[in-house]
C-alpha cells in the first residue's frame, strides 16, 4: 500500500515535469525541468530495488547531461529562446501519433498476461551488478568503454573551432 | 491494489510518448535531444521493472540499463557537439531551417 502511494507520487512528479519539458516555450525552463523528471525516475528505480542504477542516474543524467544541455543552450540561443517559435507545424499530427501510441501501448500492457517470477532480488544489487559486468558481460563492458572513448574524441573533433 | 509490473509499464509508455511528441514537434535541436533522453529513460524503467518482476535471479536488466545510460551520455555529447557545429556554420539550431542538403 505504501509502495503504491510512493509510486503514484513519483509518477506525478515525473510526468508533470516531463510535460513541462515537452511543452514549455522557454527552452531553459524545459532543460531545468529535466532535473525533477530524472529525480522522479531515480525514485522509481529505488522503488524497484535498483539502488546502483539510481545513483548512476543522479550522477549522469541529473548532473552531467542536464548541465551539458544548459551549456549548449547558452552557447547557441543566447538565452531562453522565447523570441523564436519553438514548435513546427506538426503539433496536431504529433499529438495524434503520441496519443495513439500511448493508448495502444497501455491497452497492450493491461491485456497481456505477463509471466511473473516469485523470486526476489538480492538485498544489495550493486555487488551483483559488478560481478555480472566482470563475468558474463565483460565483452559488452569493454565494447561500451570503447564506444565511450570514440564518442568523446568525436565530440571534441566535431565541436572544435576550425582555423 | 498491489503495485505490479503493469504500473511501471504504463508509466514508461506515457513517458515514451511525451518524448516522442517532443521529437515530432520541437524545432530546436536541443529540445529534440531532450525528447530522446526522455524516451531512453522510459526504456530504462522497463528494463529495471522487468528485471525485478520477471527475472529477479539475474541482474541483466540492471546491466542493460547502465549500458543504456552510458550510451545516452555518448549520444548527448556527440549530439550537442553537432548542434554547436551546426550553429557555428549555419547560424541556427532550428532543424527545419537546416536544409542546405535538401534538393
Q: Provide, as residue numbers in chain A, all residues whose Cβ is less than 8 Å from the Cβ of B18.
A: 15, 18-19, 21-22, 98
Q: In chain B, which residue's Cα lies nearest the Cα of A124?
A: B59
Strand-pairing partners, residue A87, are B26
pLDDT reading at A16 higher than 90: yes
Crossing angle for the helix pair A66-76 and A27-47, nearest 10 degrees?
170
> Residues A123-137: pLDDT tens digits?
888 888 999 889 988
- Given this model, what pLDDT does residue A79 score? 63
CB contacts < 8 Å between A and B, how many? 242
B86 within 8 A of B61, measured Cβ to Cβ: no
> Residues A17-60: pLDDT tens digits?
999 999 888 889 999 999 999 999 999 999 998 999 999 999 99
- Given this model, what pLDDT does residue A32 score? 93
Q: In chain B, which residue's Cα lies nearest the Cα of A5?
A: B3
- B40 reaches A (C-beta below 8 A): no
- Given this model, what pLDDT does residue B55 score? 85
- Given this model, what pLDDT does residue B44 score? 95
State the complex-level ipTM. Answer: 0.91
Residue among A32, A16, A44 at smallest CA distance from B42: A44
Least confident of A5-14, A20-29, A43-52, A85-94: A85-94
> Which alpha helices (DSSP H) does B1-103 contain, by range?
5-25, 29-53, 60-90
* Residue A88: Cβ within 10 Å count: 15
Phi, psi of B26 (to 5 degrees): -75, 150
- Given this model, what pLDDT does residue A97 score? 94
The residue among B9 and A78 whose pLDDT is bigger is B9
Q: Is A127 exposed, middle or buried (0-12, 13-18, 19+ CB in 10 A)?
A: exposed
Q: Provide, as residue numbers in chain A, all residues whose Cβ is less than 8 Å from the Cβ of B62.
A: 50, 52-53, 125, 128-129, 132
pLDDT band at residue A81 under the 50/70/90 scheme: low
Across the range A146-154, mean pLDDT stands at: 94
pTM: 0.91
Q: Is A41 exposed, middle or buried (0-12, 13-18, 19+ CB in 10 A)?
A: buried
* Residue B79 CA neighbour count, 13 Å, CB half: 21
pLDDT reading at A113 higher than 90: no
Q: What percent of chain A has pLDDT over 70?
A: 95
Cβ–Cβ below 8 Å for A53 and B48: yes
- B89 reaches A (C-beta below 8 A): no
pLDDT reading at A150 higher than 90: yes
Across the range A116-128, mean pLDDT stands at: 81
Segments of chain B with pLDDT less than 70: none
- Given this model, what pLDDT does residue A20 score? 94
Spell out a b/e string for B37-61, using b for 16 or more CB atoms within 10 Å of the CB, else e: bbbbbbbbbbbbbbbbbeebeebbb
Amino acid at each position: 500500500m505504501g509502495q503504491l502511494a510512493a509510486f503514484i507520487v513519483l509518477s506525478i512528479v515525473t510526468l508533470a515535469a516531463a510535460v513541462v519539458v515537452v511543452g514549455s516555450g522557454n527552452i531553459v525552463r524545459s532543460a531545468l525541468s529535466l532535473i525533477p523528471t530524472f529525480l522522479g525516475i531515480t525514485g522509481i528505480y529505488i522503488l524497484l530495488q535498483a539502488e546502483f542504477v539510481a545513483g548512476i542516474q543522479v550522477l549522469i543524467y541529473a548532473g552531467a547531461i542536464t548541465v551539458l544541455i544548459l551549456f549548449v543552450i547558452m552557447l547557441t540561443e543566447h538565452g531562453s529562446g522565447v523570441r523564436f517559435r519553438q514548435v513546427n507545424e506538426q503539433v496536431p499530427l504529433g499529438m495524434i501519433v503520441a496519443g495513439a501510441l500511448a493508448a495502444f501501448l497501455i491497452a497492450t500492457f493491461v491485456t497481456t498476461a505477463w509471466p511473473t517470477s516469485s523470486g526476489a532480488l538480492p538485498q544489495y544489487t550493486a555487488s551483483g551488478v559488478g560481478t555480472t559486468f566482470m563475468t558474463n558481460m565483460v565483452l559488452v563492458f569493454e565494447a561500451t568503454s570503447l564506444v565511450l572513448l570514440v564518442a568523446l574524441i568525436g565530440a571534441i573533433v566535431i565541436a572544435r573551432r576550425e582555423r | 491494489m498491489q503495485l505490479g509490473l503493469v504500473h511501471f509499464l504504463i508509466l514508461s509508455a506515457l513517458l515514451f510518448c511525451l518524448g516522442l511528441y517532443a521529437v515530432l514537434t520541437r524545432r530546436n535541436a536541443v529540445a529534440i535531444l531532450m525528447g530522446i533522453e526522455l524516451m531512453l529513460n522510459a526504456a530504462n524503467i522497463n528494463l529495471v521493472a522487468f528485471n525485478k518482476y520477471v527475472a529477479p535471479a539475474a541482474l541483466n536488466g540492471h546491466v542493460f540499463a547502465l549500458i543504456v545510460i552510458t550510451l545516452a551520455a555518448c549520444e548527448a555529447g556527440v549530439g550537442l557537439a553537432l548542434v554547436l557545429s551546426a550553429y557555428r556554420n549555419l547560424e541556427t539550431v532550428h532543424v527545419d531551417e537546416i536544409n542546405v542538403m535538401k534538393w
